[in-house]
Amino acid sequence: MNKIFSDSVIYVGGELFVKIFPFLLLPVLSRALGPEQYGQISLFNTYVSIFFVFIGLNSSAAIIRYEYMQKRYHSADYFFSSVIILSIAFILYIHVLYVFYRHEIIILAALAGYLQCVYTNLVSVSQARKEAKKYLIAQVLNAAMSFFMTLLFLYYFWANYEARVYAIIMGFLLSIFFASWSNRVWLKQVDFRFETFKKTSSQLLLFGVPLIIHNLSFLARSGLDRIMISKYFPGATLGNYSAAFQLSVIITVVLMALNKALTPHLYSQLRNNKIRRSDFNLIFAGYFFLSILITVVAQLLPEKIYNMVAGEEYQDIKRLVIIMVPAFLAQGFYLIMASTCFFYGKNKAISYCTFTGGIVHCVILYFVCKFMNVFCVPWVLFFSNSFVAFLMYITVFRAVLSQDRRGKSEH
């Protein structure tokens, strides 16, 4: 229990510290670029997330899972195979983009997505081995390099959103170099035989491909809104929404950090049959009251604080943030259940749930953007996240716990 608590503190504290850098960039970029240019950065980040899904194929989660479930091959073998798969996918997408959509910002987003996949897979071994401090150091270095290069490019080369784009790419390149050096002993364990590559790559694809729908549905509920806003509203509106999104996304940062910290411990507990249904009920109850507390704090903060961070040019930031905060918090229930179901190999069932939620989100979002105002968009996210969590519970999670309990009683 002490290990779980200490890792949680390191991950959450570390991720919050890492996000200090983008948070510090928010007032710099928002003032230097204005709402329209800042909105372009948000669109670039959305495209990067899309390529991360299609190129990455959830291989980082597979590496963590096989660290616990597969003893025949070394985790470095899975990383090597993942890099080959990622590289092939990246080359294919670049060729398609070059032929059908030769737009520089999209090609740069594909490159950034590819580098992010390689970097994420490289540091995932630290997460799998519960090396929280090593994982944190890698993340801090990545955020710090991206931060300082953004300032350098912004003030000496490009006074537009491209400064941030090239800084992100350079940050990932340098981070991959330093992470490779840090894990050089681990990387020496790679078995380069074709038979090993064939087996490990097939396992990665079998785990990751069914989750493309899962990840796309998750992305639709967190990134499609900005694409739709760019189509139906002025550029300044996208900038205002993006600034509010950046302020609120700290919730997601904390949730993902907790998920990273708890997943290895959760897998250990599930493998050793040491976690019960009542434990999950306590986790859900505690998280529910924590969500209420955070939402109330966001509501009570004066509007001047929001304007001080984003800048006076950005309008109605607080009005958007106080809806986004509970919308992002609703993801927490889903993440807890999804991690548990992943352990039991319920990938397809999870994909069905998230796909259904993604379709519902897209349909509602389309009508909201077409016929209503931008302040209704965060409510779509809140509804769809809550819907997916409820659907996950009644169709997959409850059945998994019941099956696990029956298995224990038979033994």
- Asked if pLDDT for residue 231 goes beyond 70, the answer is yes
For residue 165, the one-letter residue type is V
Interior angle at CA 207, CA 352 and CA 361, nearest 5: 30
- Asked if pLDDT for residue 355 goes beyond 90, the answer is no
Q: In whole angstroms, what is the distance from residue 278 CA to residue 251 CA?
A: 26
DSSP line for 178-196: HHHHHTHHHHTT----HHH
Cβ–Cβ under 8 Å, residues 286 and 262: no
Q: In whole angstroms, what is the distance from residue 144 CA to residue 203 CA?
A: 35
Let me know how many helices (H) and strands (E) the chain has, helices first: 19, 0
Percentage of the chain exceeding pLDDT 70: 84
Cβ–Cβ under 8 Å, residues 98 and 235: no
Residue 344 neighbours by CB under 8 Å, 6+ apart: 270, 400, 403, 404
pLDDT in tens, 107-119: 899 999 999 999 9
pLDDT in tens, 18-71: 777 877 787 888 778 777 787 888 888 888 988 888 888 888 877 877 776 666
Residue 95 φ/ψ, nearest 5 degrees = -65, -45
pLDDT in tens, 362-399: 899 999 998 888 899 999 989 988 898 898 888 888 77
- Asked if pLDDT for residue 172 goes beyond 90, the answer is yes
User: What is the per-residue burial (b if ≥16 Cβ within 10 Å, else e) of 149-173?
Assistant: bbeebbeeeeebbbbbbbbbbbbbe
Q: What letter does residue 375 receive in the DSSP assignment?
A: G
Residue 18 pLDDT:
72
Q: In whole angstroms, what is the distance from residue 293 CA to residue 289 CA?
A: 6
pLDDT band at residue 318 using 50, 70 and 90 as cut-offs: confident
Residue 177 pLDDT:
93
Residue 317 neighbours by CB under 8 Å, 6+ apart: 240, 243, 244, 247, 303, 306, 307, 310
Nearest residue to 25 (alpha-carbon basis) of 222, 198, 168: 168
- Asked if pLDDT for residue 404 goes beyond 70, the answer is no
